[in-house]
Every structure is written in structure tokens, then in C-alpha cells.
Amino acid sequence: MHRTFLTVVTTVLLAQAASGQVVLNRDDALDMPSRHAWNLFLLVNHPAADPKSGRGVPDLSKRIGAPGTTVLWETWRLSETEVFLPKGIQPPDWNDLTLPGGPVTGKVPELPKHLLLAKLAIRPQGFNNDRSRVGPLFDPNEGVFKGQGGFGESRMNRATYEFVKLNKLYSVEGQRKYAQDVVVGNKSALSFPVDSMEVKAAWIEFNQQDLAAGKASRYYLAEYDGKKYGLTSLHIITKDIPNWFWCTFHHVDSPNTGIETPDTYGRPKALTGTVWENYKLGGTQTDFVTSVGQPTLLSDPYIEAGFERSSCISCHARATVSADSNPPLGSRAVVGVPDPGDYVKNGKTVLMQTDFLFSLPFRAKSEK
């Protein structure tokens, strides 16, 4: 089934890298997952073109890792403030630059993290490299984790964003209406287009000791109010296969969770001599279980701090909405295949999966 699907949707995306052009082939998602993950890394971290000429467009005149550039995924839509808006109102055109969280000036390079880092800077408990002092990456203001803190950001590419907008999934009421249509058979299960991508990114703050030791020079950096922050973790998910392709990268200085999956491809030579040579593949995931039925694991030491022995795909299968006011399942450190009883009772769908994206049930606002 997967092979037939991949044959139909296989496409080639091009991004300029130091060694030439990178071929991103969807067949690799199953055939060579480590290579596919690294090619995704090269794609999303390529320097972005001027957002005023179009968001999410690579600047093919520059090589990956070129100093003073903003990477591609940072010009995607920030879920918290550019997709799910107050009162559930419809978000604007993809290329709109007016909302907080997007490119500030419409120019690259720029300081792309002013909104995110401003929130981190006022955290009363501080924010630094110590994992015990940062919470898991959840939206700190909405959903079932309201008031629990959290750090980081999630961003959607254009295909993901346009699908949310077209199907009115940006509000609680729009999601419930879609779920109602699924329950009565007017619509099939929610499924994003094959070009959809989403990233989660986590940042750490450098203290004076870190800066004096030169640690900041080994990270992709952002600055705010005189402080420097380094990108420590990057989850990338793509709709290359029906249940999404999952991969995570983190800085080489990050703690080892003990569950990293082998990198059978290796860091591309195109990253040598750039800041990106300090990042490694933490693992990939394409299914809930192995061929012998053992649960697959995938997590990051910062994004999943405190519940590292977990499974991205299993947890995200719990991203749901209902046709009424029933709450979603919510995130939990589960592994293995989902329990059908969570979604279907007495032969009737009671919770609709949001195609593995927690950003929908966690961040959507009510129109009321």
C-alpha cells in the first residue's frame, strides 16, 4: 500500500547546497530514512530568500550555512500567532507579513526571534542549558498544558497552512464542523496534502560562562535584548507517507537519551565548515512498531524533556477533535499502536484524528 502511494506522489524538490543540488525523493522516506532525514535538514535549513518576494522560498544564490542568513523554516507560519488567531478569525494570505511571529522587516538576514525570545526572557524561573529548568515543548498559553510553561516554536509550511485555511481548521468551531462531517460520512478522515511539512524548534540561552567558553559559535544563533540563544533541537515531519515521516535533529552537545536510532547515512559533506556540522540526526520514525511488533521510539532530550522514552508517532496519533464539546485525548508518553477504543465506540467515531498535528486542537481559539 505504501509503495503504491509513494509511486503516485513521488516528486523531486531542489535546494542548492555546497556540493551542488540536493535531490529530495519521497521514496527515501521508507527506503533510506536517514538519507531522507538529512536531505530534509538541508532543505529546511537552506537560506531563505527575501520574504517580501514570497515566504518559504529558498535563496539558491547562497549555500547552506552562509553567515548572516535566515533559514527557510523561520519564514514559515508560526502556529501560535500566525495561524490560530484570537476569536478563531481567518488568518491572512500566506505572504502577509503583518502578524507577530513572522519576519519582522521582510528582509533577510534579520533578528527572527523577537516575539519568541521576548517571552522566554521574562520566564521567572530562568532559561538556560539545564534541562531540569525547562519544560517540554508545549504551547505555554493554550490547550491542556495551559499554565505549565514550555518553550520553543512550531511552524507550518505553505501546503500545511493553506489546507488549514481552506478547511476552516483555524477555529474550534471549524474543527468541530469538520469532525461532524466525518462522523456522518460527508467527508473522509482528515488528511493533509502530500507536500505538508511542520517543524518544532527549541532554543537554549547562553549564560556568560557559555559565551566566554565560545559555545555560542557552535550553534545556529538568534539574539534578543542583548542575549544569545542557540538552536538545540529540530523536529521535522512531512506527509511523505500516510502517517507522516518523523525525524529529529539536535546539537551534538545535547544529552544522549539512550534511544537514538542509528544514522545509516551520515552528516552530509555540504555541512562541513558550517555551523550545521555541529548537529546530528537523533532518529527517524515511519511506523508505530517494528516488523516483530516492538514499539518504535523517537524523542529529543529537550523537546521531550522528562519523558524521553516515548514515540512521536504514537503520541501524535492522540491529536483529536470531537463533533461536540468533548476534550481531545491530549499528549501523553505512549508507545506502540493506538487503541481503537479511544476513537470509535459502538461502531461510531467519537473523536476525529487531526492527522497527527497537535497544533490544531491545542492552539485553535473559539469564535465566541
- Banded pLDDT at 257 (limits 50, 70, 90): confident
Instruction: Count up the domains in the chain and report the number.
Output: 1
Distance CA 7, CA 147 (A): 45
> Shortest CA distance to 150 belongs to which of 333, 302, 312, 299?
302
What is the signed CA dihedral for 255, 358, 204, 311, rounded to 10 degrees? 0
Q: pLDDT category, 152, cuts 50, 70, 90? A: confident
Name the more confident of 185 and 161: 161
Over residues 86-95, mean pLDDT: 96
256 is a domain residue: yes
DSSP state of 143: G
For residue 159, the model assigns a pLDDT of 96
The predicted structure's pLDDT at residue 202? 85
Please give the helix or strand (H or E) that residue 298 lies within, else none: none
Residue 27 in grid coordinates: 521514496
**Higher local confidence (pLDDT), 301 or 1:** 301
Residue with cell 481552506: 166
> Is the CB of residue 44 less than 8 Å from the CB of residue 68?
no
Residue 201 lies in a domain: yes
Residue 43 lies in a domain: no
Between residues 198 and 152, the one the model is more confident about: 198
Q: Is residue 2 part of a domain?
A: no
- pLDDT digit string (tens) for 20-77? 456 778 999 999 999 999 999 999 999 998 888 889 998 888 999 998 888 999 899 9
Give the residue numbers spanning the domain of 237: 71-363
Residue 367 has pLDDT above 60, yes or no: yes
Which residues are CB-contacts of 157 (< 8 A; sequence separation ≥ 6)?
Answer: 56, 73, 76, 195, 196, 197, 198
Mean pLDDT of 184-199: 94
At 288 the three-state DSSP class reads coil
CB within 8 A of 21, min separation 6: which ones? Answer: 14, 15
Predicted confidence (pLDDT) at residue 121 exceeds the cutoff of 60: no
Is residue 271 one of the residues assigned to a domain?
yes
Examine residue 302 and state whether it is found in any structural domain, yes or no. yes
Position 83 scores a pLDDT of 94
Q: Does residue 18 have a pLDDT over 80?
A: no
Name which of 250, 355, 258, 270 is nearest 47 in CA terms: 270
- Pairwise pLDDT comparison (229 vs 352), residue with the higher score: 352
Residue 42 lies in a domain: no
| Residue 336: inside a domain | yes
Q: What is the pLDDT of residue 86?
A: 93
